[in-house]
Amino acid sequence: MLEDKNQKPLNELEELGEFGLIRHLTQNIELKNKSSVKGVGDDAAVLDYKEKKAVVTTDMMVEGIHFDLLYTPLKHLGYKAATSNFSDVYAMNATPKQITVSIAVSNRISIEALDELYDGILLACEIYGVDLVGGDTTSSTSGLIISITAIGEAEEKELVYRSGAAENDLICVSGDLGGAFMGLQLLEREKQIFNENPTVQPDFSGYDYVLERQLKPEPRKDVIDMFREIGVKPTSMIDVSDGLSSELIHICQQSKVGCTIYEDKLPIDIQTITAAEGMNLDPTVCALNGGEDYELLFTVSLDDYDKIKDQRRVSVIGHITSDKGIYQLVDKSEQVHAISAQGWDAILKKS
């Protein structure tokens, strides 16, 4: 590649040091929420939730396990790292208000690269009304590591747990499933082609949607707002980060119930179907076991069916049964299959 003589040289982290880097990355942060009393710049943040309950969640993303910098733009990575945490807060029927961001970086990461990462984090915070109030930086000998803690708030009576599903409750899911998984498969396919022949340009034509589902997922704040608008409180809820089958089993195990879902009710986008079939994959398997959709899987009382049935944001895909430990899928031929947790496992590193 020819060198661009007009391109400015990248600045190395050693030029700033840890405290200088923190000042550089956080100098333009402005707090937006009343509950954010004190943010970056002291030994700890100070938060005030008055009479509301605080919910706290932490998620870590490790280079080589959760992302590949060969095909993941740093701004997208920062955005995804933040929004995936927001999704966990929304899954409690709560509202994210603050995050802390800790990163471990190797000396191959430039200051400009970290600026891109933080641009993505701060963009997510701006869109979803969240304050960045603290964090940490350190060095790494094994690539980039990002750890984000999100803090949210909710009235105690509004909180939703995984353990509230009951017999005859309707099983619902927002959006569509399997798209993020297919986006990852396409990126991995083009990476393999590139490694074999670096002169071949990647071909993603017609797959913008599934790529965005993988690289820039959006948490479903709109669904939480919908619950309030139509007067529905889910009986249980979880976000789909590790795959529909795994998340559904989590709800059933916590609630001590069983479930039946129907293949023809699973919401799968046409682009996901096309991509899956083009790679000889079953779209239903991708929807069941593919992770990182960050949709909301929830149950509602049968009494709320009339309120939920016409909502375009969600699909009713099955119902809760009293058969504890029995999780079933009825396929399009009306054959019954057992559901098992085959989604993403960060420890086993498989999907």
Q: What is the pTM of this model?
A: 0.88
- Is the model more confident about 137 or about 10? 137
Listed residues 158, 184, 215: the one ending a domain: 158
- Bigger pLDDT: 24 vs 316: 316
Contact (Cβ atoms closer than 8 angstroms) between residue 196 and residue 348: no
Q: Over the stretch 155-185, which tens digit does the pLDDT of each residue have?
A: 999 999 999 999 999 999 999 999 999 999 9
**Which residue range(s) make up the domain with 329?**
162-338
Confidence of residue 107 (pLDDT cuts 50, 70, 90): confident
Cβ(162)–Cβ(254) below 8 Å: yes
Six token digits for residue 66: 């959760």
172, 314: one domain: yes
Last residue of a domain, one of 158, 192, 215: 158
Are 143 and 211 found together in one domain? no
Q: How many domains does the chain have?
A: 2
| Cβ-contact 200, 193 below 8 angstroms | yes
Q: How far is CA 243 from CA 217, 221, 288, in A?
A: 14, 19, 6
Q: How far apart, in whole angstroms, are the C-alpha atoms of residue 135 and residue 40?
A: 8
